[in-house]
Chains A and B, each alone.
Chain A
Amino acid sequence: MFEILLDATVRAGTPILFATLGAIINERAGIINLGIEGLMLIGALAGFSGTYLSGSLFVGVIAAFCATFIAGSIHALITVQLRGNQIVSGLALTMFGVGVTALFGKSMVGLTIVGFKRVAIPGLSQLPFIGKAFFNQDLLIYFSFFLVFMIWFFLYRTRWGLGVRSVGENPAAADTCGFSVSKYRFLAVTVGSGFVGIGGAYLSLASTPMWIENMSAGRGWIAVALVIFAGWSSPRAMLGAYLFGGITAMQLRFQAMGTTISAHILQMLPYFFTILVLVISTHRLQKGASQQPEGLGLPYDREDRK
């Protein structure tokens, strides 16, 4: 019972984990991206179409990454190069994503593909309690574990990562040390968006191997909120994503058991609890030093005095 629930938790949490990681990369470089929801949809559709047309899941994932990389570069162009308002641009990206996927997704509705299969990792999958849930999963989930570590390593142990963080904290400091603020910000937005796209692709290639209009169902917004819960750190993002996944898994279980509580209320629970935890945890965070990148949301103009 516990194992089944934990397994469902990881599977439900993974798309949000990817999206949160992507958003963290954006925000670490100082750019707010409210286009996550739209990017997830673009990733889901691109992933599904890519796989449907080529017959290869790998091609689907690459297609999702590339499509959202390009969509993200619109946001990057507006916010980094043109110094536009990040909130407005992000919201526009979400609306664009919802619209464009509804339009081009019409022909994909009802089609099916063979989704990601579980691959048990010998040895580890035999571990008691957690073995099944974490090490008898599909390749994208393993990739998400890897990504959590990679992002942490990248941000804290490489010079490029130091550049990304500095550009998000105090772009003038990075600039005067010879780092190109626009290059770092642009790449952080586009690559981050690409990971969000893989989160979308997880929905259409693994969770339910088909394309359904608006299938992200607000997960992108949860990811935006989880970034704050995670304090802009990738390991904590994992915690947040699985929290959401866990409650989703539980409410599904309730529904399956046939309770009399309305399904609508149950479906609301993951969102409700995530926000609740978020409010409590940020309240606690604010007492200590704020972990929010100081330059978040602020366009950088070299000739402007701070």
Chain B
Amino acid sequence: MTDIIAIKNIRKTFPGVIALDDVSFSVSRGEIHTLLGENGAGKSTLMNVLTGLYHPDSGQIQIAGENIHFTSPRDSLACGIGMVHQHFMLVPAHSVFENILLALDKVPNFYSRKKYKEKVQKLIDEFNLDLDLDTPVWRLSIGAQQWIELIKLLMRDCKLLILDEPTAVLTPQETARLFNVLRKLKEQGKSIIFISHKMREVMEISDRVTILKKGRSITTRVRGDFDESKLASLMIGRDKVPQWQKNLQMSDEIVLDIQNLSVRNDRGLSDLDDFNLQLKKGEILGIAGVAGNGQKALAEVLTGLKNTNQGRIYAKQKDITNSNARYSYVAGIAHIPEDRKTIGIAPDMSVDENLIMKSFKSGSFRNWIFQNKKAIKRNAEEKIEQFAIKSGPDGTPVRYLSGGNIQKVIIARELSEKPAVLVALYPTRGLDIGSAGYVHKVIADGADQGMSTILIAEDLDELLKLSDRIAVMFRGRLIGYVDPRNTTREEIGLMMSGETPGEKV
């Protein structure tokens, strides 16, 4: 096999952090090469070096055996390297068309709108996507935004395609579709660097896997020379995957009662339609459904971010319909949002501050009107240790953290005040398997202590493993419940596409 690109001894530091210590690996023509590593291992940083966004402190990048020095992403694009970034590089105010046009190669300055719209539309149709070219991107779901990023990459003629956690926000069906595309590209002789924390996907698609640990490339394995548990143990060490037991006892006390809830979105369509749900104390209620079927609206209504058009919500018999977020919190509802960068954190504030953002008013973090710096620090140290947050030097703004570590900060904060109800949207999205296991453990342990959880997720494995009951949503309606102990993935899959269930629990 011929290497199309080789990376030798790359090192990259940021003030106070060694993001990449010593990384070497290479990609051959026509292979899918997966990068695997814990949150904060340096995967995204490495890819940003490869695309010329970051300058390495030392080390070489070789293309066809020759040292290459990238000064900007423009240079790497010229060498045929394209990338989908973990954090979207989209212009939210611009239309879908303009975002894609921006990425297109060789567009003349006075371009024909008609011609290029047709060209873009053709590709959208090819992927069977339901995207309107003139919609501004900020109105789209995260999954749709991910597709726009993918289209931006696919419309360029790249030799090496880098995909940084593209499947984190895709449904299993969409992932399958993407994998088909990737396989086709591979057959055409293109090379792909793929990053994902989902072992099932890594096993399915990779020709080779390189493992990154604390900024070092520790090994590269060829297909056949690895399996799931081997990779996991190489990546984190087997002893670190947390163990937990689910308590099957549950009280009958209803902590959250949702009655006939209807919510319309800003386009006047129904996000939720006559939705009913009862949540018991200590219960983990999984909600399955293809993204965009009202899950987000449900979470936003429960946490007071959105108003209802109809229906009531009671938390422990108290009417909390249309209360604001603060009020929901007083009622004991915590929220792990889907869109972590925009509503999950205050990006410019430090990790310590973000961790107390919900409890800064409480006595333990203040002396009269002043902050109690010591207590805040102690709290942060505790949480950082507990959740294994890789946080950089003291006072680092949260935005510098890796994607998975930002997610951990949010979860640590939301669970800190022992909420009665946790509304979690895709809580392990972007987390490495060790961290995901820990979050599962925290949720399961919380349930033992009486916390009820609404777990909205796409990963059926996660839902089946954690939930006491699974409710399936379709087009804003509750299709029915299934018992995770005696159901199949197929049954849930059918219900997710709107078929009514054979049995109810």
Q: Are B347 and A178 in contact (CB under 8 A)?
A: no
Cross-chain contact of A306 among B14, B101, B136, B399 (Cβ < 8 A): B399
Q: Which residues of A have CB within 8 Å of B98?
A: 162, 166
C-beta contact mask, A127-168 vs B, less than 8 Å → 1, else 0? 000000000000000000000000000000111101101100
Q: Is B64 an interface residue (CB 8 A)?
A: no
Produce 1/0 per residue, B74-111, CB < 8 A to A. 10011000010101011111100011011100011111
Q: When chains A and B are docked, how far (Å) is the Cα of A158 from the Cα of B93?
A: 17
Tell me if A294 and B92 are in contact (CB < 8 A).
yes
Residues of B within 8 A of A291 (CB): 93
B109 pairs with A158, CB closer than 8 A = yes
| Closest beta carbon of chain B to A78's beta carbon, Å | 22
Q: Give the nearest-CB partner of B74 in chain A.
A: A178
- Beyond A172-B89, A173-B89, A303-B54, whether A159 also contacts B83 by CB under 8 A is no
Is B53 an interface residue when CB atoms closer than 8 A count as contact?
A: yes
Nearest CB in chain A: distance from B95 CB, A:
11
Residues of A with C-beta under 8 A to B110: 157-159
A166: chain B residues at CB < 8 Å are 91, 94, 98, 102
Given A169-B92, A170-B89, A175 and B53 contact (CB-CB distance below 8 Å): yes
Tell me the minimal C-beta distance from A292 to chain B in angstroms. 9
Chain A residues lying within 8 Å of B358, measured Cβ to Cβ, are none
**Chain B nearest Cβ from A17, distance in angstroms:** 25
Per the 8 Å Cβ criterion, residues 91-133 of B in contact with A are 91-94, 98-99, 101-103, 107-111, 113
B371 at the interface (CB under 8 A from A): no
Contact A176 B92 (CB under 8 A): no
A284 close to chain B: CB less than 8 A: no
Chain B nearest Cβ from A138, distance in angstroms: 30
Q: Which residues of B contact A189 (CB under 8 A)?
A: none
Instruction: Determine the distance from Cα of A176 to Cα of B77 in the docked complex, in whole angstroms.
Output: 9
Assess whether A249 is interfacial by the CB under 8 Å rule.
no
CB-based contact B93/A289 at 8 Å: yes
Structural contact, A170 and B87, CB atoms closer than 8 A = no
Give the chain A neighbours of B54 by CB distance below 8 A.
302-303
Chain B residue numbers with a CB within 8 Å of A306 are 87, 347, 399
Q: Contacts of B400 on A, CB cut-off 8 Å?
A: 305
Residues of A within 8 A of B83 (CB): 176
Instruction: Report the interface size for chain A: residues with CB under 8 A from the other chain.
Output: 27
- Distance in angstroms between the alpha carbons of A302 and B90 in the assembled complex: 15
* CA–CA, A173 and B90, complex, Å: 6
Give the chain B neighbours of A175 by CB distance below 8 A.
Answer: 53, 72-73
Other-chain contact of A177, B55, B92, B103, B138 (Cβ < 8 Å): B103
Check A174 for interface membership: any CB of B closer than 8 A: yes
Asked if A179 is an interface residue, CB under 8 A from chain B, the answer is yes
Residue numbers in B under 8 Å from A303 (CB-CB): 14, 53-55
Q: Are A294 and B108 in contact (CB under 8 A)?
A: no
Contact call B72/A180, Cβ cutoff below 8 A: yes
Contact assessment for A170 and B90 in the assembled complex, using a CB-CB cutoff below 8 Å: yes
Considering the complex, give the chain B residue whose CB is closest to the CB of A167: B91
Q: Who on chain A is nearest to B105 by CB?
A: A178
A303, B72: Cα distance in complex, Å:
11
Q: Does B51 contact A (CB under 8 A)?
A: yes
- Chain B residue numbers with a CB within 8 Å of A178 are 73-74, 77-78
Residues of A within 8 A of B109 (CB): 158-160
Which of B85, B102, B152 is packed against the most chain A CB atoms within 10 Å?
A: B102
CB-defined contacts of A289 to chain B, threshold 8 Å = 93, 136, 138
Q: Hey, which chain B residues are within 8 Å of A160, CB to CB?
A: 109
CA distance A191 to B270 in the complex (A): 48
Task: Give B397-440 as 1s and 0s: 1 = Cβ < 8 Å from A's Cβ atoms.
Answer: 00110000000000000000000000000000000000000000
Known A-B contacts A289-B93, A302-B54; A176 and B73 likewise in contact (beta carbons under 8 Å): yes
B92 and A170 contacting across the interface, CB-CB below 8 Å: yes
- Chain A proximity mask over B35-61: 1 for CB below 8 Å, otherwise 0: 000000000000000010111000000
B77 contacts across to A, CB distance below 8 A: 177-178
Interface contact B89-A176, CB-CB below 8 Å: yes
Nearest CB in chain B to that of A158: its residue: B109
How distant is the Cα of A159 from the Cα of B110 in the complex, in angstroms?
Answer: 7
Q: Give the residue name and chain of the B residue nearest to A290 (CB).
A: B93
Interface-central residue, B54, B91, B108, B136, by most chain A CB under 10 Å: B91
State A176–B85 Cα separation when bound (angstroms): 9
Q: Mark B348-367, 1 if CB is under 8 A from A, else 0.
A: 00000000000000000000
Residues of A within 8 A of B94 (CB): 165-166, 169
A177 touches B72 (CB 8 A): no
Q: Is the CB of B113 within 8 A of A157?
A: yes
Question: Is the pair B111, A159 in contact by a Cβ cutoff of 8 Å?
Answer: yes
* B74 contact set on A, CB distance < 8 A: 178-180
Residue of B53, B93, B347 touching A169 (CB-CB under 8 A): B93
| Interface mask (B302-331 → A, CB under 8 Å = 1, otherwise 0) | 000000000000000000000000000000
In-complex Cβ contact of B91 among A157, A158, A170, A305 (8 A): A170
**Chain A neighbourhood of B89, CB < 8 A:** 170, 172-173, 176-177
- Docked Cα-Cα span, A294 to B92, in Å, equals 9
- Chain B residue numbers with a CB within 8 Å of A157 are 110, 113
- List A contacts of B78 (CB < 8 A): 178
Give Cα A172 to B102, complex, Å: 12
State how many angstroms separate the Cβ of A272 from the closest Cβ of chain B: 32
In the complex, A179 Cα to B103 Cα: how many Å?
Answer: 9
The CA of A306 and the CA of B94, in the complex, are separated in Å by 19
Chain B CB count within 10 A is highest, among A158, A159, A160, A163, for: A159
Bound together, the chains give a CA A300 to CA B87 distance in angstroms of 16
Q: How far is the CA of A294 from the CA of B53 in the complex (A)?
A: 21
**Closest-CB distance, B10 to chain A (whole angstroms):** 15
Tell me the bound Cα distance from A170 to B137 in angstroms.
13
Query: For A158, what are the chain B residues with a Cβ–Cβ distance below 8 Å?
Result: 109-111
Q: Given the complex, which residues of A lie within 8 Å of B111, measured CB to CB?
A: 158-159
Is B102 a contact of A177 with CB atoms below 8 Å? Answer: yes
Shortest Cβ gap from A306 to chain B (Å): 6
Residue of A nearest to B55 (CB): A303
Query: For chain A residues 13-29, which have a beta carbon within 8 Å of chain B?
Result: none
Q: A169 to chain B: which residues have CB within 8 Å?
A: 91-94
Q: Mark A88-106, 1 if CB is under 8 A from B, else 0.
A: 0000000000000000000
- B interface list, Cβ under 8 A from A: 14, 51, 53-55, 72-74, 77-78, 83, 85, 87, 89-94, 98-99, 101-103, 107-111, 113, 136, 138, 152, 347, 399-400
Given contacts A157-B110, A177-B73, A294-B91, 13 further A-B contacts (CB under 8 A): A158-B110, A158-B111, A163-B102, A166-B98, A169-B91, A169-B93, A172-B89, A176-B73, A177-B102, A180-B74, A291-B93, A294-B93, A306-B347
Considering the complex of A and B, which 6 residue pairs feature the smallest CB-CB distances, nearest first? A178-B74, A173-B89, A169-B91, A177-B103, A176-B89, A178-B77
**Could you name 23 residue pairs across A and B whose Cβ atoms are closer than 8 Å?**
A157-B113, A158-B110, A159-B111, A162-B98, A163-B102, A166-B102, A169-B93, A172-B89, A173-B99, A174-B91, A175-B53, A176-B53, A176-B83, A176-B89, A177-B89, A177-B102, A177-B152, A178-B78, A289-B138, A302-B53, A302-B72, A303-B54, A305-B399
